[in-house]
Chains A and B, each alone.
Chain A
Amino acid sequence: MTTQKHDFAAPVQIEELAPAARLSLRVRPDHRAVLADALGLDLPARIGDRAASDGREALCLGPDEWLILAPEAADLIAAAAAVYPTAPHSLTEISDREITLHLSGPSVLDLLATCCPRDVGALAVGRGCRTVFDSATVTLWRDGPAVFRMDVWRSFLPHVRNLMALAEAELATGL
Chain B
Amino acid sequence: MLLIHCPYCDETLPELEFAYAGEAHIARPVDPSALSDEEWRDFLFIRTNARGTHFERWRHIHGCARFFNAARDTVTDRFLVTYKAGESRPDLTVKESAE
In whole angstroms, what is the CA distance A137 to B64 when docked? 11
Q: Quick check: A118 and B8 within 8 Å, CB to CB?
A: no
| B-chain residues with CB within 8 Å of residue A47 when the two chains form the complex | 8-10, 64
In whole angstroms, what is the CA distance A137 to B16 when docked? 11
| A-chain residues with CB within 8 Å of residue B61 when the two chains form the complex | 137
In whole angstroms, what is the CA distance A74 to B1 when docked? 44
Select one of B16, B64, B66 contacting A132, CB under 8 A: B16
Residue of A nearest to B15 (CB): A117
Size band of the interface chain A makes with B: 10 to 19
Instruction: Tell me if B's interface is mostly helix, strand, loop or mixed.
Output: loop
Q: Quick check: A63 and B8 within 8 Å, CB to CB?
A: yes
CB distance from A90 to the nearest CB of B (A): 14
Q: Quick check: B66 and A63 within 8 Å, CB to CB?
A: yes
Instruction: Tell me if A's interface is mostly helix, strand, loop or mixed.
Output: strand
Asked whether A129 is an interface residue with its Cβ less than 8 Å from the other chain, the reply is: yes
Q: Quick check: A65 and B64 within 8 Å, CB to CB?
A: yes
Q: Which residues of B (44-69) have their CB < 8 Å from a CB of A?
A: 61-66
Q: Quick check: A131 and B65 within 8 Å, CB to CB?
A: no
Asked whether A61 is an interface residue with its Cβ less than 8 Å from the other chain, the reply is: yes
Q: Quick check: A61 and B64 within 8 Å, CB to CB?
A: yes
Residue of A nearest to B16 (CB): A117
Asked whether A19 is an interface residue with its Cβ less than 8 Å from the other chain, the reply is: no
Q: Can you sample 26 A-B contacts with CB below 8 Å?
A: A47-B8, A47-B10, A47-B64, A48-B9, A61-B64, A62-B8, A62-B64, A62-B65, A63-B8, A63-B64, A63-B66, A65-B65, A117-B1, A117-B13, A117-B14, A117-B16, A117-B17, A118-B17, A129-B63, A130-B63, A130-B65, A131-B17, A131-B63, A132-B16, A137-B61, A137-B62
Mark B residues whose CB is within 8 Å of A: 1, 8-10, 13-17, 61-66
